[in-house]
Structure 1
Amino acid sequence: MGRCKGARFTRRCIRVAVSACLTAGLCAGLPAPPAVAADCPNDPNTAGSVDGSELTYTLHTRYTAEWARAREDWNALGKVDIKPHTGTAYADVDATDVDRADIGWSGLWESHELGSDDIVLNAHFLASYSADVKRGVVTHELGHALRLGHRSSPGAVMYCNDTRTAFAPTAADISAYRAVWGS
């Protein structure tokens, strides 16, 4: 199970993999020819992980530099303060890694009713990606935690697969963010 540790975490990794199979194609994560708009429609916004006007996180990932840049990019838009978790209750998001060739995504955001939501980064694919593409994956998954759905344009960081040409929020992403969080 790659970096999955302990029985509880192993079950979570399996649940994440099953969830990804059920939504196959939405965040394929595999380098592929650019999808046409019909293959990647604009999706409604997600439930997100934001609590009030903040998003707290814990990091158990090797992609801390990419996380820091993604956090900086989203925080520059205001409205939601993305910051490290310091309390005793659950963080809003827990970022972890797996290293799995048997699943078809490089990153996954998953919501949970109880406890922290997950952002899982798949080192199997990310290891061969450029720094910009890694940043795009992390920024994309953090966008889901901010309640953003997919965009149909490969020029948006919220495009549904890793053939995106944006690695930070673009005008389309910022517009979607402002639709959720206000100007």
Structure 2
Amino acid sequence: MSAELTAARAAPAQCAEAGVSESRSNSSVDGRDLLFEDDTKFNDAYTWANRQWYQRTGALSRVKIAPDHATAINDVEWRDWSQNNNSLGTWKNNRGIDHIYFNTRRLSRAPFNTRDARRAVAVHELGHALGLCHKSDRVLSVMWAGQPRRHPLQAPTEVDKANYGRLWD
């Protein structure tokens, strides 16, 4: 691992795209809750992502991620779509209910048809729903715009936790 990656681990990282910043208003979070509904064949992936980004105590406990219920409206829906592009997944901020889409066309074919690849996509897109932006590949982050094909990151790194903390403290 390079010295640049090691040195940047504990500090928040800036957004990789010029003019973009992390913001609570650019998230799916309603107050301190992110309620979801799902209709995807990749149940393991979104379940994994929810567990990685929400803990009952500790650094990732500030936003509660939970299924919606009878007396609440969901904030985000996990969905499948089939797009003929390079996207593995995407988060769409809409009026009302936001969406996280898995691109089934790409995630059903090698090299992305693995549990690890689907989990990496879900963790990354849920990071966007929490208000996080893309990070430079000079820092270790699940929020890289392009994950490595081999050994994709499947859990928030120290950089991601620092950015989450800065946004949600």
| Larger helix fraction of residues | 1
| Identical aligned residues as a percent | 33
CA distance in 1 between counterparts of 2:71 and 2:103 reads 28
Of stretches 77-86 and 89-98 in structure 1, the one that deviates more from structure 2 is 89-98
Corresponding position of 2:21: 44
1:173 aligns with 2:160: yes
**Considering only aligned residues, what root-mean-square deviation do their CA atoms show, in Å?**
1.9
Correspondences of 1:5-154 after superposition (within 5 Å): 41=16, 43-46=20-23, 47-76=26-55, 77-87=60-70, 90-100=73-83, 102-113=84-95, 115-128=96-109, 129=112, 130-153=114-137
Aligned length: 141
TM-score when normalising by structure 2: 0.77
CA distance in 2 between counterparts of 1:69 and 1:126 reads 16
| Matched letter for residue 156 of structure 1 | S
Q: Which runs of no fewer than 5 residues in structure 1 stay unpaired?
A: 1-39
- Kindly provide the CA deviation profile for residues 75-126 of structure 1, in whole angstroms up to 9, marking residues without a partner as x: 12100110001135531001110123x222111101112x210111101111
- Kindly provide the CA deviation profile for residues 57-89 of structure 1, in whole angstroms up to 9, marking residues without a partner as x: 110101111111110110121001100011355
CA distance in 2 between counterparts of 1:88 and 1:61 reads 23
Is the contact between residue 44 and residue 150 of structure 1 (CA under 8 Å) also seen in structure 2?
no
SS across alignment from 1:172: helix
CA distance in 1 between counterparts of 2:21 and 2:148 reads 21
